[in-house]
Amino acid sequence: MLNTTILNAAHHAQQNARMVDFGGWEMPVHYGSQISEHHAVRRDCGMFDVSHMCAVDLVGIDASRFLRRLLANNVERLKTSGKALYSAMLNESGGIIDDLIVYRRPALVEGQGTPYRLVINAGTAEKDLAWMTARLQDWGLAATLTPLRSGDKAVGMIAVQGPNAKTKVWAALPEIRAATESLPPFFGVAIGELFVATTGYTGEDGFEITLPAAQTEALWNKFLAVGIPPCGLGARDTLRLEAGMNLYGQDMDETVSPLDAGLAWCTELASERDFVGKSALLAHGQRAQFLGLKLLDKGVLRAHQKVFAPQGEGEITSGTFSPTLGFSIALARLPLGVSVGDPLSVEIRGKLLPVQVVKPPFVRHGKALV
Amino acid sequence: MNIPAELKYTASHEWARLEADGTLTVGITDHAQELLGDLVFVDLPEIGKTFAAGEEACVLESVKAAADAYAPVAGTVTAINETLSSAPESINQDAYAAWLFKLAPANVGDLAGLLDAAGYKASVDAG
């Protein structure tokens, strides 16, 4: 029995929606054409049901202390309410349990600690919650984790992305314009029962809107009415890959260190702060490089294809045809010593094809960067 | 499901049409293109290449995955649809117009082993 989001009936109502099992969730992979949906987000805008992801509220006097010890990135960097931070959550061996976004929320009661909202991946939610709950107990910290998944706390999430996303959202929801017009990137703000954030997974502008589950379908329909096309997880994957963003379970998992998954930029090693996995990271150091590849021949790079470099063998972790660029691109784990610009080769069905090493992202704000 | 009555089919989702000159035009079915999603690259066989029945003849890459197209019967490739190299999406637009290759069958009698439209539909429905 697959999990379904609050928008499941709305997806089935779309004539050409193709539903698939995505990590135990019945989700739309596309609504007719993955490539058209991809272009819609790069050139105009599109919306995604991301209600399968799990929002978790964290409150309590020790909430900040807990996150400082739990996460590879440092929540002390969240100087103002609403600011968001991307981080990996590691196990003791330095492997990635999950990647997540944490928002700092306004304090409800002075002196009762800073509240936070975390957004974790769908497929890892139960494991993450068990891990976090166990760490809270081990460390004897006073904070409460509340997943917003069931009962009257249940929420839905809609991501609207693209150069015209904000304008179209404001056309549907004029009442949120004033509060979101000057919201900087990577911020979230509560407006009534909505939580509106300038985050995303496409490399374009836009909003991710969290709201009570019971209101989600009405908002989805409002967005359809102002001409925002629904986009499936297929386009979400090609967009995030072009934007050089990692996908949990594909580019990284519990056996992979953030230093080998291109996440050194959000892993704070050079400070006094201790966090789970830090000693393992310091002991092992970086063991591989995480870089982009562009295919210089016809064909499509795919996950698990082998990459051959003079320094040794690497592996593609995510590969696709890039609809924006018109050729195939990939994220790959490569031996140390490989440099941007190097010509390497990839084995595709027994043939060696030429690729060039590039630095992700491949595309940002509609512009090719490689 | 769009399954033209005048064509022959395989359970592996190829369609085939016997032409007046005795060659067999081969493509993938509308159902197959729908399963694959947007096609982005087609690796066509070389003209003159000989295949056994059911042998991999062609690779189709979609945004989602790579899939093989098979020779419906034994034969030799006499022509390939060059337009697919610049417009693989034409298969998504009309799978029965965007043929892949033409085959000179080794034995015309082999065509009797292909499915008709009803047989193909039954094969798809059976999963």
Same domain? For A105 and A181 the reply is yes
Cβ B88 vs Cβ B40: under 8 Å: yes
Q: Is B63 on the interface with A (CB under 8 A)?
A: yes
Q: What is the pLDDT of residue A12?
A: 93
Same domain? For A296 and A176 the reply is no
Q: What is the pLDDT of residue A194?
A: 98
Same domain? For A264 and A311 the reply is no
Q: What does pLDDT average to over chain B?
A: 96
**Which residues in chain B are closer than 8 Å to A234, comparing Cβ atoms?**
37, 63-64
pLDDT tens digits, one per residue of A232-242: 999 999 999 99
Residue in B61, B65, B92 nearest the CB of A299 = B61
Please indicate whether, in this complex, the C-beta atoms of B38 and A298 are within 8 angstroms of each other. Answer: no
Share of chain A above pLDDT 90, in %: 96
For residue A324, pLDDT beyond 90: yes
- Residues of the domain holding A370: 288-370
**Which residues in chain B are closer than 8 Å to A316, comparing Cβ atoms?**
none
pLDDT tens digits, one per residue of A251-262: 999 999 999 999
Chain B nearest-CA distance from A306, in A, is: 16
Distance from C-alpha of A249 to C-alpha of A353, rounded to nearest angstrom: 26
Q: What is the pLDDT of residue A112?
A: 87
Residue from A34, A240, A301 whose CB has the most chain B CBs within 10 Å, to mutate = A34
What integer is the mean pLDDT of B99-115?
Answer: 96
Chain A nearest-CA distance from B92, in A, is: 9
Q: What angle do CA B41, B44, B45 make, to 5 degrees?
A: 155
Please indicate whether, in this complex, the C-beta atoms of A34 and B43 are within 8 angstroms of each other. Answer: no
Q: What does pLDDT average to over chain A?
A: 97
- From A268, A286, A304, the end of a domain falls on A286
Please indicate whether, in this complex, the C-beta atoms of B37 and A349 are within 8 angstroms of each other. Answer: no
Give the model's confidence band at A118: pLDDT under 50 very low, under 70 low, under 90 confident, else very high: very high
For residue A15, pLDDT beyond 90: no
Give the model's confidence band at A90: pLDDT under 50 very low, under 70 low, under 90 confident, else very high: very high
Q: Is B38 on the interface with A (CB under 8 A)?
A: yes
Same domain? For A128 and A213 the reply is yes
What integer is the mean pLDDT of A313-332?
Answer: 97
Chain A nearest-CA distance from B61, in A, is: 7
CATH code of the domain containing A315: 2.40.30.110
How many CB pairs below 8 Å do chains A and B form together?
Answer: 40
Same domain? For A298 and A277 the reply is no
Chain A residues in contact with chain B using a Cβ-Cβ cutoff of 8 Å: 18, 29-30, 33-35, 234, 238, 298-300, 302, 320-321, 323, 328, 349
Q: What is the pLDDT of residue B65?
A: 87
pLDDT tens digits, one per residue of A23-59: 899 999 999 999 999 999 999 999 999 999 999 999 9
Q: Is B35 on the interface with A (CB under 8 A)?
A: no
Closest residue, chain B, to A303 (C-alpha): B65
Distance from C-alpha of A220 to C-alpha of A229, rounded to nearest angstrom: 10
What integer is the mean pLDDT of A104-118?
Answer: 92
Distance from C-alpha of A118 to C-alpha of B87, rounded to nearest angstrom: 44
**Which residues in chain A are closer than 8 Å to B64, comparing Cβ atoms?**
29, 34, 234
Please indicate whether, in this complex, the C-beta atoms of B40 and A30 are within 8 angstroms of each other. Answer: no
- For chain A, how far is it from start to end, CA to CA, in angstroms? 43
Which alpha helices (DSSP H) does chain B contain, by range? Answer: 30-36, 90-93, 117-125
- From A286, A304, A332, the end of a domain falls on A286
pTM of the model: 0.93
B50-51 sheet: strands from edge to edge: B8-9, B14-18, B24-28, B101-105, B75-80, B50-51
Q: What is the pLDDT of residue A111?
A: 83
Share of chain A above pLDDT 70, in %: 100
Q: What is the pLDDT of residue A122?
A: 95
Distance from C-alpha of A299 to C-alpha of A358, rounded to nearest angstrom: 18
Same domain? For A354 and A323 the reply is yes
Same domain? For A166 and A186 the reply is yes
Q: Is B89 on the interface with A (CB under 8 A)?
A: yes
Give the tokens for residue B35.
């399963």
What integer is the mean pLDDT of A158-181?
Answer: 98
Chain A nearest-CA distance from B115, in A, is: 27
Q: What is the pLDDT of residue B53?
A: 96
Same domain? For A201 and A311 the reply is no
If one counts the domains in chain A, the total is 2
Distance from C-alpha of A184 to C-alpha of A176, rounded to nearest angstrom: 15
Same domain? For A77 and A199 the reply is yes
pLDDT tens digits, one per residue of B62-89: 998 899 999 999 999 999 999 999 999 9
Residue from A298, A327, A328 whose CB has the most chain B CBs within 10 Å, to mutate = A298
- From A286, A303, A319, the end of a domain falls on A286
Give the tokens for residue B107.
């034995």
For residue B127, pLDDT beyond 80: no
**Which domains, from first to last, does chain B contain?**
8-110 (2.40.50.100)
B89 Rama class: left (phi>0) / alpha (psi -120 to 50) / beta? alpha
For residue A309, pLDDT beyond 90: yes
Closest residue, chain A, to B42 (C-alpha): A299
Give the model's confidence band at B28: pLDDT under 50 very low, under 70 low, under 90 confident, else very high: very high
Same domain? For A136 and A219 the reply is yes
Cα A76 versus chain centre, distance:
21
Residue in B37, B41, B63 nearest the CB of A299 = B41
Instruction: State ipTM.
Output: 0.82
Please indicate whether, in this complex, the C-beta atoms of B37 and A234 are within 8 angstroms of each other. Answer: yes
Same domain? For A105 and A214 the reply is yes
Same domain? For A205 and A343 the reply is no
- Burial (CB count <10 Å: 0-12, 13-18, 19+), residue A98: buried
What integer is the mean pLDDT of A138-167?
Answer: 97
